[in-house]
Structures are given as C-alpha cells and as structure tokens.
C-alpha cells in the first residue's frame, strides 16, 4: 500500500488541472481526483512527463552548447555527436537515481520493517515519483538508442527490459523496492560516460583515462556484480508471496534480473580485459642487429 493516498500537483500553474475532465482516469486507473489531487500513480505519470521533456531538452540542446566549450564536436561523425548528446542526461539521471534508490532502499526502513504488506506490494509516493523520473529517462533514451543503434543489440535489450520493468512497476504498484534496487546499478553510468568523452576529446593517453578505467572496474564490480547475489537471495526468501503480483510482474522478476546479470558479466569481462591490456607493460620490440 502507498504511504500516502493523495498528493498535491507540484509546480503546475493554478487551475491547470481544472481543464481536464475530473476525475482523470486512464485504463481504470485514477490519476487525478475530483478535487484536483494527484494519486500516487498520478505523481509517477506527472514526473515521467517532466523527466521526458527535461531529458529531451538536454539532448536536443547539446548540439548547440557543446561546440562552445569543445570545438572538436563539429569534427565528429553524426553518430558520435548524437552519442555525445546523450551523455549529460545519462550523468544527471544516474546521480539522481542512485541517490534516491539508496535512500529509499538502504537508508529508509519502510520496505524492510515487519508488517502486513509483503515487500512486493509496498509502495510510497516517493517511489512512484522516482520510478516516474526513470520512465521518462528510459523512454527518451530508448528513442535515441534505437534510432542510432547505440551500443548494439545488448544495449537495446538492456533498455527495452528496463523500460518495460519500470513501466510495469509504476502502473501495477508491484516490486517497487526491487526495481529501485536494480536501478541503483546505474552508478557506473557517469564513469562510462566520462570515458567516452575523454576518448572523443583525444585524451586516451592522459592519466585521467587510466584512472577512469580503474574506476569503472571498481564500480562495476560492486554495483553490477556484487549487487546481484543479495538481490536473488531476497527474491528467494520472499517467494511465498510473489503470487500477489501480476503475471507480468512475476515474469519480469524471474527473467529480467537474470538476463541483466548475464549482460553485466559479459560486459565485465570486456572491461577487465581492457584494463589488463592498458596496465600490462608493452613489450619493447627486439633491437635490430647491425
């Protein structure tokens, strides 16, 4: 159950919601009540729209402000320019989601205190808002990823699974805790983004590039490898009440984290191989005999 039933409409002009047919209902789900209050789901949908607009603006405006501080942007291919344009949004979102995911899942006790509601069905207005921001981000990111095929099939699979999982959690109210837990793995994103930026800025030989690579290995080891065993243990310990979720939610909990774990291990092997290659001293060619 959500900790709060109704929530004021934040940052909206006065009387704007009066223009809607109240109550505002979508597929039998109430988003706005007769007295112009957002339901928890309405809060999530509101922040999804805000997030999508914000991420789109950051992406679209990048092609105008990036050349002001990095002239080399104009010399990139169109594909690399669009990839660069996504990076600031990636960094901002990852900082946001990691902070709130850790706060809601690890710091706050709401999801873990003994009570009548099983972990699968515990929600709060905050968790709806955070999932809404995530939905807006992944929706915008998905459009660019598919259009320019960034990261190949593996990245598209990652984004499709993330988008479906976040949408399902937001709409059904199922598995907010575990969805936020998985989203906390985005803490590796800023380091991956900075690596791309350093590469395109021609700084592959700079010490920062090596430090960045080591940071990626360390953060990936913790966030995208070590995080999964306790996650699967939590799922197993709460298996008796998993039937309370919708069939799609059950399918996603049973399948997508396992697929994501395999993708993370596959990417991890490539990252470690790259780090070993960088750190291994290059053999000097044998001196030529005179």
Residue 276: per-residue pLDDT: 84
* CA-closest candidate to residue 129, choices 97, 105, 87, 107: 97
* CA-closest candidate to residue 102, choices 186, 221, 218: 186
**pLDDT bracket for residue 2 (50, 70, 90):** very low
What dihedral do alpha carbons 8, 13, 19, 22 form, nearest 10°?
0
pLDDT in tens, 160-183: 999 999 999 999 999 999 999 999
3-state secondary structure 221-258: HHHHHHCHHHHHHHHHHCHHHHHHCCHHHHHHHHHHHH
- The reported pTM is 0.88
pLDDT in tens, 192-217: 999 999 998 888 888 898 899 999 99
């Amino acid at each position: 159950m959500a900790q709060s039933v109704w929530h004021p409409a934040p940052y909206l002009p006065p009387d704007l919601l009066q223009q809607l047919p109240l109550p505002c209902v979508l597929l039998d789900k109430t988003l706005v009540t007769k007295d112009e209050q957002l339901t928890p789901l309405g809060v999530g949908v509101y922040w999804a729209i805000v997030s999508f607009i914000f991420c789109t603006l950051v992406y679209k405006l990048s092609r105008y402000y990036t050349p002001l501080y990095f002239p080399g942007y104009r010399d990139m291919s169109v594909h690399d320019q669009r990839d660069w344009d996504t990076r600031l949004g990636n960094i901002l979102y990852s900082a946001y989601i990691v902070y709130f995911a850790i706060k809601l899942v690890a710091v706050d006790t709401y999801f873990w205190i003994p009570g009548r509601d099983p972990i699968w069905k515990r929600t709060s207005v905050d968790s709806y808002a955070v999932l809404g921001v995530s939905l807006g981000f992944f929706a915008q990111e998905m459009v660019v990823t598919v259009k320019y095929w960034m990261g190949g099939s593996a990245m598209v699979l990652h984004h499709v699974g993330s988008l479906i999982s976040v949408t399902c959690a937001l709409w059904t109210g199922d598995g907010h805790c575990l969805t936020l837990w998985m989203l906390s793995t985005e803490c590796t994103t800023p380091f991956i983004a900075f690596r791309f930026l350093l590469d395109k800025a021609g700084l592959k030989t700079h010490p920062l590039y090596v430090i960045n690579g080591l940071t990626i290995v360390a953060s990936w080891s913790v966030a995208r490898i070590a995080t999964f065993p306790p996650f699967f243990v939590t799922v197993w310990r709460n298996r008796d009440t998993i039937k309370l979720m919708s069939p799609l939610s059950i399918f996603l909990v049973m399948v997508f984290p396992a697929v994501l774990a395999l993708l993370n291990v596959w990417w991890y092997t490539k990252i470690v191989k790259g780090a070993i290659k960088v750190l291994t001293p290059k053999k000097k060619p044998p001196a030529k005999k005179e």
